[in-house]
Structure 1
Amino acid sequence: MTTTYVIDGARVHSLQDFWTALGEAVNGPGGYFGRGLDSLTDCLRGGFGTPDDGSYVFEWRGHAASRRALGHPETARYLEGILARCHHTNRGRVAEELAQARAGRGPTLFDILTGIFADQAPDLLRLL
């Protein structure tokens, strides 16, 4: 039997809201299921509330609203934070990604997040 976790896209107005909605979908109110891109990858590999046998999927309902909320402006805001604290050897790359996001180009946080799900398993995420 497959467990289905529902992400309520209507609640996602920022990246922080996504982490909250995701954590609560898996582990209930106040639940944790990653608070960063790397930790999301780790959590999707199991052991943080999902069945150990991998028999689960996520349904991102109302994903269109989340797609807008996690678009280029939110991506730029996220990258500004990364740029402020990244290692000096990464600053050029992050600055370029930030310039692209500010110009409305390049991948958005929504693209990045859905890509992480797809990298773990092609059918792990259903956009509804």
Structure 2
Amino acid sequence: MKQYRINGAEVHGIPDLYEQFNRELMAEEDWRLGSSLDGLNDVLYRVDSEIRDGDPAVFVWTNHALSRDALGFDETQRWLQNKLAQPTSFNQQRIQSDLDELRNGAGKTYFELILEVFADHPLIELELR
């Protein structure tokens, strides 16, 4: 079984998380995964295909509570505000709606969005420790 490790104690923001994803998932690639939920989703499809070929995989996320805090409200708000600052790159209406929902307590944090990406890949086991 292939095991990927994420150390939540080393995650202080979104870029730190993707540094760990790159270390774990992209070591044999000649390109790096950017801070993108869509990009992460695409790379996890590669892991899905490896699992289907008989190579099970598990992600072990230690100190995940620290990541939950680091990728919580403040970091998510910064991430959404950065997207709003790029009006030609993102759907501004949707981003503003996401930001409003976050501020009203109904929106998802970046940590929760990451968990949703993993949930879209039921063959991949995610252990939060």
1:44 pairs with 2:44: yes
- Confirm or deny: 8 A CA contact 2:57 2:124 kept in the other structure: no
Measure how far apart 1:122 and its partner are.
6.0
| 1:25 corresponds to | 24
Larger relative contact order (CA 8 Å, sep ≥ 6): 2
Letter of the 2:112 counterpart? D
Q: CA deviation at 1:84?
A: 1.9
Is the CA contact (8 Å cut-off) linking 1:72 and 1:104 kept in structure 2?
no
Q: Percent identity?
A: 35
Deviations 1:12-67 (A, max 9, x none): 00000000012113345xx84553111100000117xx946352110111000000
- In 1, the alpha carbon distance for the partners of 2:122 and 2:34 equals 17
User: Matches of 2:87 and 2:127 in 1, distance apart?
Assistant: 33
In the alignment, is the contact (CA less than 8 A) between 2:84 and 2:90 conserved in 1? Answer: no
Give the aligned CA root-mean-square deviation in angstroms. Answer: 2.6
Moved more, 12-21 or 115-124: 115-124
Give the structure 2 partner of residue 65 of structure 1.
Answer: 66
Is the Cα contact below 8 Å between 1:7 and 1:22 reproduced in 2? yes
**Structure 2: tracts of 5 or more residues without a match:** none
The answer to whether the 8 Å contact 2:83/2:90 transfers is: no
1:107 aligned counterpart, secondary structure: coil
How many residue pairs were aligned? Answer: 123
Aligned to 1:115: 116
Q: Which structure 1 segments of 5+ residues have no match?
A: none
Give the 3-state SS of the residue equivalent to 2:46 in structure 1.
Answer: coil
TM (norm. structure 2) is 0.81
Structure 1 length normalisation: TM-score?
A: 0.81
Q: Distance in 2 between matches of 1:70 and 1:77?
A: 10
The equivalent of 1:5 in structure 2 is 4
